[in-house]
Structure 1
């Protein structure tokens, strides 16, 4: 660790950043002024040392050398008059400045989905910035937030969404403080419960199990006229998947030989890959749907393509359920009714959560080191058999012995239904043939 005496200029700081042995810079022309590199060397902090006490001024490169030198006399005078006062310089003066920075930062985050980035951008632009734009950062408190943001918002928005906005604002302040862009975090001790004690209730389900036969009948009637719409709804109802991960499915994600639907991590909300077993009914449904696609002249990569050759967009997929549900239910209601039905059928709660690709929590994830593939397959067989009794068989057309009845290997019954399927998943089939040759 070395302290080097230099002229504190922008080029000199960049030059010394390359020397990992140098941790601190000082300028002989300005006694008491120090610059310390951070671990990544591209950033650092300015300090003013008085009476052997290090007072942090600001972060670098948020505050350049010229700006620090220009306010240095004022900072020295402040410490003379009040030795215990803060000399920290805020990069921003208002909450609006901080939100502008955070919005731009989130827009460039590769770890976030486009949907989440769009949602955060809209929340900041439509709700947080208009109400907090001119609020000084130093004036942020539970009272000021309650007056300017929380209480006005709860009068026009759902309490659950107001909570999301509060959390987004708290994350913005926490991140800014971690990066030394603000000297203190005024939201550090503020909790959402400080503003209201009302409980946030989950949204009521708009579909109940007794309505599933009616939905299946509706889908059966519309399959010939709108196979894409119906297939999107059926895949979600049969597997409990989300609309985003379902609409982006490729045919290459359907591995018939392994009887598995693979959902890549980048398509899931949890950012973890998801593998769903395919039952006899699901294979037969895929066969019928692929025949419909080919009959219409489509030989592309996606199960649910748009006119541009890409998968359905978020808005296009939502429009599907506007047409099907007519405002009575949405895509998420299919996921919820499936999960409820699994419980009613006696399917284990952990298996149900794994089928939904929900996190099991830190403790469960630590001790349950299995994908429970067979248990999840049996759960879906049970669910699809129940659907068969309420009209599903008329859509997929699968007949014969069920997997749960035979309990033989997949090649005997539940695998046999897919053996006769056209080999439309060429990429997956070729891959598995190569694996077989390697084994022998």
Structure 2
């Protein structure tokens, strides 16, 4: 039976009810929905886990008696209970090697509904590609600063750039910290180790290639792009959105009645959803683009792959932009350029931070949500008027 990975919701359950599939929730990957043979409008929520080296599952409730939100909470609670039984502080052999610890950490992080899908993908990539190929069979007690520097870092430099390895090290350190706090390992051998201890190379932020460009010059370059990449670039520039936040957008996220673009939490880096006001210039541009897209495909995504069933990935979009511009700028450069331009227009620091959807303190969130909605709208209107109105 085919498994479909998606965000579980009533609409998705209705959509697949006549297909021979099992639905897996991307927010809580251990949660599965299986349709009942008695009727395709009902089914059961199940949590999948491994026990004694074998995959198994347990029913945690029936739909629609149990809501999706309740099922997610129940799945997390059940999975954590199973993990607690597998790895208790009283066991002398909690993990045989570093590979088992990393596999546990990957499952632990991916079961957390509070982190974004993109973050989960990064964790999976770091564990499977960056860390396990070298550290998999290594004893946990042997993972020291010296070993990481001489054996892991030096061996990995041929395959990955230094910034990717720094992210991989941060993932490894987080895994050790979490396991130690839960009592799954006796001691944390890298607790006081920083990436700077492993490498003398200073990681510099990527330079913004269009930092000193004028807005008209940049718009002139964007106007030469193919239609879908022109719209993609203008959205990134206009709302300072990250690559993944933009390419993952669906038409249903755009509420043209209330003039709001909703970016769901699972699409953001911070795990915090955001609603941007759709300015009148943006309304005109997006509606024109939607009509153009209908002649090519009836996809639910603004920027679909050729099949129309999936959105373009952030990596695919970045490569296309770089190719069409001959490397003159990257997609992420537009976010930096837009944030600088808004500040040059006199926009308050906290307002720009909210538009950027940076992680903020609870106090900052309260300030912004209660007092700056109109200011954000006015700031974006002023910014969009500079390059979207002929």
User: Is the pair's TM-score, using the shorter chain for normalization, greater than 0.5?
Assistant: yes
Q: What are the ranges of 5 or more consecutive residues in structure 1 without an aligned counterpart?
A: 1-9, 11-39, 45-59, 64-86, 395-440
What residue number does 1:348 align with?
348
Residues 257 and 133 (structure 1), Cα distance of their counterparts in 2 relative to 1, 3 Å cut:
closer
Q: Is the 8 A contact 1:253 1:261 kept in 2?
A: yes
Q: Is the 8 A contact 2:118 2:269 kept in 1?
A: no
Map of 1:18-417 to 2, 5 A cutoff? Answer: 60-62=85-87, 89-106=92-109, 109-150=112-153, 153=156, 158-195=161-198, 199-222=202-225, 226-294=226-294, 296=295, 298-314=297-313, 315-365=315-365, 368-370=368-370, 372-387=372-387, 392-394=388-390
CA distance in 2 between partners of 1:276 and 1:301 (Å) = 19
CA distance in 2 between partners of 1:244 and 1:138 (Å) = 38
Residues 91 and 330 (structure 1), Cα distance of their counterparts in 2 relative to 1, 3 Å cut:
same
Q: Secondary structure at the match of 2:276?
A: strand
The alpha-carbon deviation at position 205 of structure 1 amounts to 0.6
More divergent stretch after superposition (192-201 vs 324-333): 192-201
Residues 204 and 281 (structure 1), Cα distance of their counterparts in 2 relative to 1, 3 Å cut:
same
Question: For the pair shown, which has the larger CA radius of gyration, 1 or 2?
Answer: 1
The alpha-carbon deviation at position 209 of structure 1 amounts to 4.6
CA distance in 2 between partners of 1:297 and 1:135 (Å) = 52
1:68-89 residue CA offsets vs partner (Å, 9 max, x unmatched): xxxxxxxxxxxxxxxxxxx962
Q: Is the 8 A contact 1:90 1:183 kept in 2?
A: no
1:147-174 residue CA offsets vs partner (Å, 9 max, x unmatched): 3234655687554333222211111112
CA distance in 1 between partners of 2:141 and 2:326 (Å) = 49
Aligned residues: 311
Q: Is the 8 A contact 2:249 2:302 kept in 1?
A: yes
CA distance in 1 between partners of 2:180 and 2:193 (Å) = 15
CA distance in 1 between partners of 2:296 and 2:98 (Å) = 55
Q: Secondary structure at the match of 2:206?
A: coil
1:255-304 residue CA offsets vs partner (Å, 9 max, x unmatched): 2232222212222222222111222211221232233234x164553322
CA distance in 2 between partners of 1:203 and 1:114 (Å) = 24
Q: Secondary structure at the match of 1:210?
A: coil
The alpha-carbon deviation at position 375 of structure 1 amounts to 0.8
Q: Secondary structure at the match of 2:270?
A: coil
CA distance in 2 between partners of 1:168 and 1:134 (Å) = 18
Q: Is the 8 A contact 1:132 1:148 kept in 2?
A: no
The alpha-carbon deviation at position 92 of structure 1 amounts to 2.7
CA distance in 1 between partners of 2:357 and 2:142 (Å) = 42
Q: Is the 8 A contact 2:350 2:368 kept in 1?
A: no
Q: What are the ranges of 5 or more consecutive residues in structure 2 without an aligned counterpart?
A: 1-51, 53-79
| Cα RMSD after superposing both structures | 3.2
Q: Is the 8 A contact 2:221 2:325 kept in 1?
A: no
Residues 43 and 275 (structure 1), Cα distance of their counterparts in 2 relative to 1, 3 Å cut:
closer
Q: Is the 8 A contact 2:97 2:137 kept in 1?
A: yes
Q: Secondary structure at the match of 1:276?
A: strand
CA distance in 2 between partners of 1:193 and 1:298 (Å) = 49
CA distance in 1 between partners of 2:201 and 2:269 (Å) = 28
CA distance in 2 between partners of 1:156 and 1:307 (Å) = 30
The alpha-carbon deviation at position 324 of structure 1 amounts to 2.9
